[in-house]
Each structure stands twice: as structure tokens, then as C-alpha cells.
Amino acid sequence: MSAFSSDKLQEAIRWRHHLHAHPELGFQEIETARFVAERLSEWGYAVRTGYGRTGLVGSLTKGSSRKALGIRADMDALPILEETGAPYASKSAGVMHACGHDGHVTVALAAARELAGETFDGTLHFIFQPAEENEGGARAMVEDGLFRDFPMDAVLGMHNWPALPVGTLVARDDEMMAAFGTFEVQVVGRGAHGAMPHEGADPVLAASQIVSALNTIASRNISPLQASVVSVTQIHGGDAWNVIPERVVIRGTTRWFNAAVGDILQARLEQVARSVAEGFGCRAETDYQRRYPATINNAAVAAMVRSQAAAMELQVIDAAPSMAAEDFAFMLDEKPGCYFWLGAARATGDNPGLHSPRFDFNDQIIPGAVDMWRSTAMNFLR
């Protein structure tokens, strides 16, 4: 049963609303980190800051076991203008907790307080990471020595999931979230008068053909049994009705799980862009970046999470992995662990998706999420 009293729940909700009102972008989570560090220190955690610039770790050891568990929460907000109309809406125009990381911080903090009062045998590391969105804060923490300075046997991460009902949990044995890359193709032609196209080399036409051709990579070069995505999301070029411009820029994103598929996407993207551009007398310069690896769970740790969830009467469900990406992948690349989704859909049916300007973390899941961290940690460090 939940040991989480209604006073503590009300306080946790106040933290969540405070954090929501004061969002900070990736690697700028200074006040958020201070908020977290003050409380952890008060409850007896040893706090070390400066991992991944604004990231911090709160550690607590009890008993004599050398066993250690890491629990990670992400702290960053997004560059979005909030439209929730909530009384605790963002006070920073254009910055918003639209992914629920305010809730993740709250839940991890509340669990840290619960666990400070429990008996366990081993070490708990609460990892508060910066810059989950796009900037790879998890990688920055790992590069700054997270796992060297805080040895741990397993690491756990959680995301609220508004597409699934409250009371459900998904912890797959393997793939949870896709790997992602970004690309920018500069299509360079030769500008000309719009009335005399034969005197130039038209990068607008070449770019149009490149966009079409890039869409054949997933369908013609990747096995139909492997998941992959190539999405062109931007195309920019030209300033006048009657001028063929010198260059056009195409940008977009790729997704995959299997590393070999990632290799094919990158190689084909550069090759297709270059060859098609050449066919039109233009030149394509591609800047391709592999950003996050796939988020892949350890089967044994995932099984432990699922059995803990079932014991708490959460409904453990199976779901397909998401083609969105998550930088907890960098931690799972180093340590066995599990990243799970906790269902967060409101019964009202009004559930704006993650990154929507109307998204607001569902406070209803706080008690269950705190209990999930508390009981999983207690079980791991028995």
C-alpha cells in the first residue's frame, strides 16, 4: 500500500506547480538544480553538482552492501509558448515544461524523501540530468564521470505517457525508443533569371527531386522487417518570384533501432542527395549527425520493473516501441537498466500530447510513481 500521506502529496503537487511555473531550458537548469539540491541535502543525501554542467547526483548509503541503484529524472523544459491557462503556467514566456519533466523531478524528489526514511542495504543515486531534449544531457553526465564516480549495478528512468491510461506501465525487454539522426542538405546550383532557367542550374527543382528520392530510402534500401524513418521537415530557398536562387536548404530527421540500419540511412542519404543533385547540374553538401542511440532495456532489469509494477497493482501492458528518441539511451549504453512509461491519460479524454503547448503533467500519477520508485529501490537494495 502507498505510504504516501496526503500532506506529502499536497507538498509534492506544490513542488510540481512551482517547477512548472519556473521552467528552464537545457543546460540552464540552475534554479531547478538548486531546488533539488537543497531538499536532497536536507534529507541527508550527499549532493554532487557539476555533472553535465547543471546536472547533479544525490547519494544515500545504508547498511553494508556494495549494491547500488541509479534513478534518473530529467529537468529541462522546451522552447514553447505555453497555452494551458493553468494558474501555475510558465512565468518565462516561450519556455515551458511541455514534456512533464517537472513531474519527473517532483516524483524522484518525493521518492528520495520517502527512501531517506526507509531501511535498505546499499546505495541509492538519484540522478537529476539536464538537457534531455535534443542536447544529450545524459551523454554530458556520462562524459563527466557519472558512472566512474557513482558506480551502480543498474539505472532506471521513467517517462509519463499521456497516450496510455493512468494505472498502466510499459517496460519492454528490449527496444523502447528509437535512435535519431539529423541532416541538412545544401543544394547548390547556379542562380538565374526566372524567365531564362536554361542559363542556370535550378536548386529548387533539384531539391524537390531530392526530397522525393530521400523518401525511397526507407522503402527501397531498408528491409521491410526493420523500422526506419526518413522525414524531410524543412525546405528553404529563394526570395523572389522571378529569380532562380543559388541554393536551397533541406533539413530533416532519421530514426532507427538497429545500428546497421542507421549506417544504411546515413550512407544512402548522402549518396542519394549527391547523385540527384549532380543529375540536375547542382551540388549537394550533406551534414549528417547521429544524435542519440536507441533506448534499449536490459531484459532482466525490465522483468524486475514489471514484476514490481504488477505487485503494486499497476496494469503491465505490452506496447510497440516509440519512434521518438530519448537520451536515457546514453545511460543504458553504459549500464544495465530499464526505461519505462507510466500511463498518464486523464479520464476526461482531454490529453494533449507531449510537446503540445497545452500539455500539463498529470498530478494524479504522482502517488503511484513515487511508490514505484520507492518499492523498486527497496526491493533492489533488500
38 Cβ contact list (under 8 Å, min separation 6): none
C-alpha span between 38 and 79 (Å, rounded):
26
Instruction: Kindly state the smallest distance separating residue 215's Cβ from Zn ion, in Å.
Output: 26
H or E segment and range at residue 244:
strand 243-244
Between 99 and 250, CB nearer to Zn ion: 99
Give bridge partners of residue 338 from the DSSP assignment: 156
Report the nearest approach of Zn ion to the CB of residue 133 (Å).
Answer: 5
DSSP 365: G
Give the closest residue to 296 by CA, choosing from 264, 270, 261, 335: 335
Beta carbon of residue 192, minimum distance to Zn ion (angstroms, whole number): 43
Range list of β-strands (E), 101-246 = 122-129, 154-165, 168-170, 175-177, 179-188, 192-193, 228-237, 243-244
Looking at beta carbons only, is 134 or 364 nearer to Zn ion? 134
Give me the phi and psi of 270, to 5 degrees please: -65, -40
Residue type present at position 53: R
CB of 356 to Zn ion, least distance (A): 11
- What is the grid cell recorded at 267? 550512407
177 or 210: CB nearest Zn ion: 177
**Residues contacting 224, CB < 8 A, separation 6+:** none
How near is the Cβ of 16 to Zn ion at its closest, in Å?
Answer: 15
Of residues 93-122, those binding Zn ion (CB under 5 A): 99
Q: Report if residue 218 touches Zn ion, rule: CB under 5 A.
A: no
x/- map, 57-96, Zn ion, by CB under 5 A: ----------------------------------------
Q: Look at phi and psi of residue 294 and say left if phi exceeds 0, alpha if psi is from -120 to 50, else beta.
A: beta
- Judged by beta carbon, residue 175 or residue 270, the one nearer Zn ion is 175
CA dist., res. 264 & res. 271, Å (int):
10
> 99 vs 222, which CB is nearer to Zn ion?
99
Total number of residues that touch Zn ion (CB under 5 A):
1
Instruction: Tell me whether residue 99 or residue 108 sits nearer to Zn ion (CB atom).
Output: 99
CA 250 to chain centre: 24
Helix 366-380 crosses helix 6-21 at what angle (to 10 degrees)? 110
Closest CA to 183 of 247, 235, 132, 254: 254
- Pairing mode, if any, of strands 46-51 and 337-345? unpaired
Q: Nearest to Zn ion by Cβ — which residue?
A: 99
Nearest distance in Å: CB 170, Zn ion: 15
**Distance in Å, CB of 77 to Zn ion, minimum:** 9
Using the minimum distance from each CB to Zn ion, give the nearer residue, 266 or 322: 322
Smallest distance, Å, CB 48 to Zn ion? 24
CB nearer to Zn ion: pick between 99 and 214: 99
Taking CA atoms, 331 is separated from 70, 132, 140, 193, in Å, by 10, 12, 10, 54
Nearer to Zn ion, 112 or 177 (CB): 177
**Minimum gap (Å) between residue 201 Cβ and Zn ion:** 41
Q: What x-and-dash track marks residues 297-326 binding Zn ion by CB under 5 A? A: ------------------------------
The footprint of Zn ion (CB under 5 A) covers 99
